[in-house]
Chains A and B, each alone.
Chain A
Amino acid sequence: MLTQAPKKPSAASPKAGRPRHAMSGTGGRTAALFLTPFFTIFALAMVAPVIYAMVLSFFAQQKSGLGFGEAKTAFVGLENYLQAMQSDSFVSGIGRLVLYCVLYIPCMVGGALAFALLLDAAAARARKLFQLMVFLPHAVPGVIAALIWAYLYTPGVSPIVSVLETGGISLNFLDNQMVLPSIVNIAVWEWTGYNVIVLFTALQAVPREILEASRVDGAGEIRAAISIKLPLILPAVSVIMLFTVIGTLQLFTEPSIISKATASVTSTWVPNMWAYDAAFNRHNLNQAAAASIIIALMAAVLSWTVTRFSSRNKA
């Protein structure tokens, strides 16, 4: 999807009236002028840091003898990677991230899809207001969303907990079992509305004649939604899946905030927190570098898989 889309514009609008020799000479030079600022920043803020982290990840600070005296930097090969992959906390962090994905992606994408289809079936007048309300959480920064929900999970302050208690249910949202679903809920709250708008926009592009034809053939609203609208907006769904999968690997803000409210979230709860902890609490920068590289690699593999999967799906 992503790799195909940008081709469209350049094909639709042929060379922008450049002189014929633009291919090699002046075109390249002018393009360079326009591209240099971006690629300079790109090199400084993405390429160089990742390369430097890769280099760092192959070294370690080693203390000689009894551990007194200056630490020496020594080349250790893949040692840092092995240590991270063998560390229980890092591996269980990955496990939690997987579980988080398994809960979060179906809930969020399914919820967004359901909501978008409902919105498409709603009266035109109400749509605008619904869209604005559903988008509201996206205007709330992740930190603030996590803070709000942290209070909504805290007994004594939370209206949810007190309503449940009136109903005779006592549920601790922040205990060991519940804290992961609770964090999933924060992310669902933050991202569903954004994706509702994306999917709703895609639904608006579904040709009305097709829907009209299906109605004439006797298909009900639900039937039309499942067998006509849904297949037609699958490309938009796969783009959402791609960005959602990348997004889940970023998981850091919400658990960091929640970790202050409960002991169930440890300082190494997800890989990003593990890397942060390695750098700032364990002062092992080399291991932090290795962990960051592992996370970036996981992102690369995942987004490659999703892209492959969704392009096959479309074919």
Chain B
Amino acid sequence: MTTTAHQADPGTERATRRRDGLRMAIIVLGVIGLIIAGYTTYEHYNGFATLICLGGHHGKSTCEQVQSSVWSELDGVPVSVLGLIGYFLLLVSLAFRTELARAFGFLVALVGFGFSAYLTYREVFTLKEICEWCVASAICMTILMVLTGIRFLRGEPEAL
């Protein structure tokens, strides 16, 4: 079968669809992560006045206990702010179709995943409390690490 100018190669078309699907999944997860980080950052500076959380005791929700703990800040910067920056950088990396941008996106997701894993360890084994928002963000970052890894290794046509 010959391929005319109006009829794309089915293999190439499939690959393009896969790449677009991957980008879309990264965008959706990145935006979800951005919303979670934005909400927890807002609550951090709002004194957790309207923080929604399932568990709690001693008049404090488990989310508040986790997010006001010593592990909730990195040298005075709330980790939710770091998450906000991470998700933002990840989304920005998608705007560029260069190998360097894909590598950068993967790097951000990898660091985010590593730090999320460390914070989850602190939640479970040190604080012995679970914050649903932190877990949701950690799940987002884990999936994003896999997706950005695939995007980097698979490659895309070079274009801005």
Partners in one complex: no
